[in-house]
Amino acid sequence: MDETVRIGILLMIGFVTFGQEVAEKNTIQKPRIYFLHVNSEIKYRFSKTVITSKVVNPGKEASETVFDVTLPNEAFMTSFKMIINGTEYKGEVKEKEQAKQEYDAARSRGQSAGHIVAKPRDSNKFQIQINVAAAEKVTFELTYRELLRRRTGKYEQLIYINPGQIVDDFRVDVSIEEYRNITSVHVPPLRNDILTDDTEGKNKDAEIVRLSPTQVKISYSLTKSQQEILSEQGISGQFVVQYDVEREKNSGEVMVMDGYFVHFLAPDGLDPMPMDIVFILDRSGSMSGTKMKQLQESMLKILNEISENDRFMLVAFDNKLKFWRRELAQATTANIAEAKQFIQNTGAEGSTDINLAMTEGLKLLSQNTQESRAPVLVFLTDGQPTSGVTNTNKILENIRKFNEVDIPIFSLAFGQGADFDFTKKVAAQNDGLGKRIYEDSDAALQIAGFYQEISAVLMRNISFKYVDGTLNESTVTQTDFNTYFKGSELVVAGKVEDMTKLQDGVDIYARGVNSEKVALRRPLICVLPPPRPFPPIIPAPSPQPQPKHPNMMENLWAYLTIKQLLRTKDGLDDKDEIKNIEKKILDMSLKYQFVTPLTSMVVTLPDDSKPNLKSVNTDDVPQSESFLTLPSRKYSIGGAIQGMYGLPGRNMMPPALLGNRSPQISFDPFGASMSRRRNFNRRNYRTSTTTTHSPLSTISQVSTPRPAMKRQALPSFIVQVSKVNMCFDLSLKKSKTYNIIKMLKQRNGCAMLANTASKQNRALKMFASLKVEKFKGKKIQETINVDAIKNFASLQCDMEGIKLDVEKDQHRLRVKAEIHGRQRKQYDGILSHFVNMKCKIVRQFSRKGKIMAKVKCRRRGRPTLKFKAIQKTSSSGDSCWFLNKRMVSSLNISPTNYEITP
Average pLDDT, the chain: 78
Each residue's pLDDT tens digit, 789-812: 676 767 888 887 788 888 876 667
Each residue's pLDDT tens digit, 109-147: 544 333 334 456 666 777 777 778 888 888 999 999 999
* For residue 709, pLDDT beyond 60: no
* For residue 385, pLDDT beyond 50: yes
Give percent of the chain above pLDDT 90: 39
Distance CA 599, CA 614 (A): 17
Mean pLDDT of 517-546: 65
Distance CA 194, CA 25 (A): 33
Distance CA 686, CA 421 (A): 60
pLDDT given at position 174: 97
17 pLDDT band, cuts 50/70/90, is very low
In 85-189 the beta strands, taken as DSSP E runs, fall at 87-95, 123-132, 137-147, 150-151, 154-161, 169-177, 182-186
CA distances from 304 to 380, 629, 779 (A): 19, 56, 75
Each residue's pLDDT tens digit, 812-827: 788 888 887 677 677 8
DSSP assignment of 755-787: EE-SS--TTTSEEEEEEEEEEETTEEEEEEEEE
* For residue 674, pLDDT beyond 60: no
| Residue with the larger pLDDT of the pair 901 and 464 | 464
- In 3-state terms, the chain is what percent helix, strand and coil (to 5)? 25, 35, 40
Centroid of chain to Cα 705:
35
Q: Which of 70-74, 509-513, 551-555 has the lowest mean pLDDT?
A: 70-74
Whether 785 contacts 806, CB under 8 Å: no
* For residue 695, pLDDT beyond 50: no
- Helices 552-570 and 420-428 cross at an angle (nearest 10°) of 110
Distance CA 470, CA 467 (A): 6
- Burial of residue 511 (number of CB atoms within 10 Å: 0-12, 13-18, 19+): middle
Q: Which of 559-573, 600-614, 675-689 has the lowest mean pLDDT?
A: 675-689
pLDDT given at position 197: 76
**Nearest by Cα to 82 from 69, 98, 101:** 69
Whether 189 contacts 203, CB under 8 Å: yes
Specify the length of the chain in residues.
Answer: 902
